[in-house]
Structure 1
């Protein structure tokens, strides 16, 4: 009977080739076990990458919308906090002015005009706020602050009401100037008349934040605060009684304006809720797509571990055979 055997060199090459193949399988299985994903995607998909490509594209799009959702949430949150401060300033000042209108100036609530100037500066600082370098209440003019310093606004209104002799006339002149498009909107407000572009939060959802420093509710707050701040100006020549009456008018105006500010903040709150709902829906969709992708590419950890153990056993056996083969000699055979 004819016997076929391998020479020493051929057998060495065979063992070396088998060792390389087992080590490659060991490396592949180790990576798959640690990552939980198959290493040869082409083999799993049988060359058809369309479904996987569509899943990955959808995940990338959702990732982009996630950034837009975060930006919109930060923006609306900053707006809400700024308007909260403006409303708090106006509410507190309104009560102080009403107290001052019923007693001697400087006894009940300090100097009401000084208090109004301080609160006006706080309001303007809040409305000139920005987030990441983008102005909150300037419309599309995000690189500009919408309002000047408090002293500038007081000087503008003082020039408008100059010559008026009664608190009612002063209020009427100031109200006319704030309502006139050629007044406050042109001379004081330096933001844009155009609202920010809507935030795209999904393929079908958009939210618009159209709140600017020249909004009617905010102008009303600035109007009464500014008039209260200039009530004691010597150029107006108001008596103590007239100043008290003017404080009463502005105090009532600020208190009445609270409902408008609440409504404005409620609109932003509704937008915040929409952003949160859209974000939650996007996250749920992203989780579903990731589950589908993992189901497509994921490996069975138990099967992979079993195969890895088998490869380790075969590799150890091969090393043992190689060692024994290297120890064979004619002397030992004889």
Structure 2
């Protein structure tokens, strides 16, 4: 009897223990499943090639673009800048871009024209733009967008991305002080390897001599050429005034630079990243526009201090008249576009 009571008591205790255990479990929240580890987003590195040195307004603007991209992407996208032709001359970098070995490059419209985008030559027509503000108004409007689409549709594996523009290009010379077109006769003038530049210099009566930009300083120094042409900041930052101290302000060209992307790179980017890069570039355009004006003033002051002779042409109209045949050669198929550019306010 006693053993039966002990058995009953033991059974009751076991039952009560089980009940309380179940009650306790019922009151507890089920354990949350472990969160999957966050997969880090892959870092994107973009290489941007540039011919000018670090001190040039173009390179400074490109580095500002890189800074804004890094900030907007919180470090996920990084633009590495290679100035001073580190990755080769213009031809080499364009080829690298087409193969996807280079991601972004700044080039001249005439170079793109030589690749089959003939309408790009319009940007190089001498005295087309009234001033830098007029140029920017065109670039930031529908005409500028239409020209970028030419790159997209060219079949050259490149994508039009944006523009930079600075003050007009002017001639400079090692020995001669040039103020009239007749002063240009027989002079060897360095030009980029582009047919438009060859024709402009020939129209002024000089002998165009294509030379890589990286070799220009030594070509001036050794007398291979008698002069060249560049905007104020290019002449100043590359120290061409050391070997060519005569700078003639003729303002023959105000062609913008075209920023192009490798199509292979661009198509790999997500729509969100494409927008991020485009927004960052718009910010760098504004930065560059303000900086260019400031750098021009600084360049003129430094040039005067260095003893550079800054000359004005005696009769601007004779220079304008000399290049009118180029409008027939390069612009006759694009007269409506030229008119729209000239009428842009």
What's the TM-score, normalizing by structure 2?
0.26
- Decide which structure has the larger Cα Rg and report it: 1
What's the TM-score, normalizing by structure 1?
0.26
The structure richer in strand per residue is 2
The structure richer in helix per residue is 1
Higher RCO (C-alpha 8 Å, min separation 6)? 1
